[in-house]
């Protein structure tokens, strides 16, 4: 059974100090930021230095999950040391009256801890949840992973217990002395959209409902 890990009070690693009013330690917000992501960035170190690697991610309960080949350098290191996972969604460019008051609207999360490998029984549940995260309804129609594929794959998770979110919304915050500068101000929204599905050449099967709804 999946254990719900709720962010605790800020720790020395998660305490937001710069523009602290943008910070949140709310589990619902953290989960929403993770659930909106397909990719996270994981920072770790090894004998060759520091690395920050993008990788696919998804959430089950109170954990963020990743997967990869058994031989992955990153997955091996993550079981040996603490790391930091980040996710960022940029929602808009904020144009102010002065250069240094320009900003961005965004939703971000930082997660600290150590990854653990999941056992063989939970590995299949987790990977099926990954497929449903990518495209809900797809798992039921495709060939499931076989024993050889699962044996070559490591699935890992990190608890969402030590984490912080930081978000910004709204218009620019100009200084009082700049308010008379005659320049356009406001927000240029950035939105992720779903494009029209592109069928593979030679595929003559009817379009499933979840594909038809992709760009609806």
**DSSP of 26-50, one letter per residue?**
-HHHHHHHHHT-SEEEEEEEETTEE
Question: What pLDDT tens digit does each residue of the chain (216 aa) get?
Answer: 454 555 557 888 888 888 888 888 999 999 999 999 999 999 999 999 999 999 999 999 999 999 999 999 999 999 999 999 999 999 999 999 999 999 999 999 999 999 999 998 899 999 999 999 999 999 999 999 999 999 999 999 999 999 999 999 999 999 999 999 999 999 999 999 999 999 999 999 999 999 999 988
- Give the whole-angstrom CA distance, residue 78 versus residue 3: 21
Sequence length of the chain is 216
Q: What are phi and psi of 60, to 5 degrees?
A: -130, 115
Nearest to 83 by CA among 60, 106, 66, 58: 66
CA–CA dist 56, 39 (Å, integer): 4
- Are 198 and 101 in contact by the 8 Å Cβ rule? The answer is no
pTM, two decimal places: 0.91
Kind and range of the H or E run holding 74:
helix 73-78
């Amino acid at each position: 059974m999946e254990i719900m890990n709720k962010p605790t009070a800020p720790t020395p690693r998660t305490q937001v100090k710069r523009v602290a009013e943008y910070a949140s330690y709310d589990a619902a917000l953290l989960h929403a930021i993770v659930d909106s992501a397909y990719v996270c960035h994981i920072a770790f170190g090894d004998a060759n230095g520091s690395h920050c690697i993008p990788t696919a991610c998804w959430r089950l309960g109170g954990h963020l999950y990743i997967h990869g080949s058994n031989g992955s350098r990153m997955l091996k290191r993550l079981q040996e040391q603490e790391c930091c996972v980040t996710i960022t969604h940029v929602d808009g460019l904020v144009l102010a009256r002065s250069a240094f008051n320009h900003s961005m609207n965004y939703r971000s999360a930082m997660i600290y801890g150590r990854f653990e490998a999941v056992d063989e029984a939970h590995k299949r549940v987790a990977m099926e949840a990954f497929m449903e995260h990518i495209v809900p309804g797809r798992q039921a129609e495709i060939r499931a992973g076989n024993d050889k594929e699962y044996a070559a794959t490591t699935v890992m998770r990190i608890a969402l217990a030590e984490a912080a979110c930081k978000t910004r919304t709204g218009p620019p915050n100009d200084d009082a002395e700049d308010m008379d500068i005659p320049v356009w101000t406001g927000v240029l929204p950035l939105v992720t959209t779903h494009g029209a599905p592109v069928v593979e050449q030679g595929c003559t099967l009817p379009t499933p409902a979840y594909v038809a709804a992709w760009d609806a």
